[in-house]
Amino acid sequence: MRMEFDSGSLAATEEFLNRNYTAMQIGNATKGPIRTHITRDVVGKVSLDRLDLGFDMRYDADPLGKICLCGVETGSIEEDYLDENVTDVFEPGEVGILTPPHLPYSGVIHQARYTITMFEPHELTRVASVENPGTMPVALTGHRPVSVAAGRRLNSAIAHVRQMATEYDDEVPPLVASAATQYLAAVVLGAFPNTADAVSVVADRTDAHPATVRRAVAFMESRIREDIAVADVAAAAYVTVRALQLAFRRHLDTTPMEYLRRMRLCGAHEELLASTADGGATVGSIAAAWGFGHPGRFAAWYRQLYGQAPGTTLAA
């Protein structure tokens, strides 16, 4: 469900920002008229905001506690980075981290239209290849993408998740939202310098044995309709993410997430067989319930596995 705010009052704008972001004080740096328009869409635990400020807003804010991606469309944003002791300016087309989650932040937004995409920092750890998922938090160590190409990929990922928010009349199905969150977190890790570090390759190869696969498959089968990431599967199998991936590649010639996708395709197939269009079932609703947010990709994967379109299975 979309949230929308529109105001010509500085006090009302400050109150809204305090209620929906963090405690902050704002001011009008140009003394001109105030114009604020903000919308928010949500995909699972990812919030997707678009802000349009028709004045120069100076701000001093408490720590946000979230990964905050900022993409500028028009105008510019001047941000002070206390951990780096620098002031940086984001121009149209640029994307970056607005503030580290644990630090206060300040700056000036110069009559800008921009987007803010936020999610919990622990999502980075969930998708990172660390030895003990959940116990070694991954942090970003820079606020700019490592390359122009990385910035483009990040902008595309944000746009894809944002489009997903508009494709559902109601709340995005949990498994679809989870996949979108993991996808976004993975792209963020690839775009920014971070503390994720590879662990011992020798130990990973030693752990890549059939028992690892058996534990992982049992875990996935027991939680097939739940929000699980590759780091969760690795933790359940008592190995690193890299060892898990090596084990699946060595013994099943696939990846853990590809195997999970096949399991969910099987579940969707069984539900399609047991349902009827006359009973109100649709391919889209069944696909979404099993975590497939893109109907076209679901149909392609389904056809590849079962040799026919999912609609044909439902009709039969």
DSSP 279: G
Average pLDDT along the chain: 87
Cβ count within 10 A of residue 25:
13
Q: Which residues pair with 78 in a beta bridge?
A: 89, 108
Q: Is the dihedral of CA 164, 169, 171, 175 positive or negative?
A: negative
- pLDDT bucket at 70, cuts 50 / 70 / 90: very high
The class of domain 260-315 in CATH terms is mainly alpha
CATH fold label, 3-120: Jelly Rolls (2.60.120)
Q: Which two tokens stand for residue 139?
A: 């942090």
The 3-class SS string of 226-260 reads CCCCHHHHHHHHCCCHHHHHHHHHHHHCCCHHHHH
Q: What is the CA radius of gyration of the chain?
A: 22
pLDDT of residue 82: 77
195 within 8 A of 98, measured Cβ to Cβ = no
What sign does the dihedral 110-114-118-123 (CA atoms) show?
A: negative
Answer yes or no: is pLDDT of 196 > 90: no
Q: Could you tell me the two tokens for 85?
A: 């002791």
Cβ 213 vs Cβ 253: under 8 Å: no
Q: Which residues contact 272 (CB under 8 A, 6 or more apart)?
A: 281, 283, 286, 310, 313, 314
Which has the higher per-residue pLDDT, 278 or 103? 103
3-state secondary structure of 137: coil
* Sequence ranges of the domains in the chain: 3-120, 260-315
Give me the mean pLDDT over the 281-302 stretch. Answer: 87
CB 109 within 8 A of CB 79: no
Q: Is the pLDDT of residue 132 over 50?
A: no
The residue whose two tokens read 């060892």 is 243
Beta-strand relationship, 3-7 and 36-43: antiparallel
pLDDT of 134 higher than 70: no
Q: What is the pLDDT of residues 18-68, one digit of tens each?
A: 999 999 999 999 888 999 999 999 998 899 999 999 999 999 999 999 999
Where b means 16+ CB within 10 Å and e means fewer, 83-114 reads: eeeeeeebeeebbbbbbbbeebbbbbbbbbeb
Residue 198: what pLDDT?
44
What pTM value is reported for the model? 0.69
**61-70, 87-96, 202-211, 234-243: least confident range:** 202-211
The beta strand positions in 168-209, using DSSP E, are none
Per the listing, tokens 């696909």 go with: 287
Domain 3-120 and domain 260-315 have a common topology: no
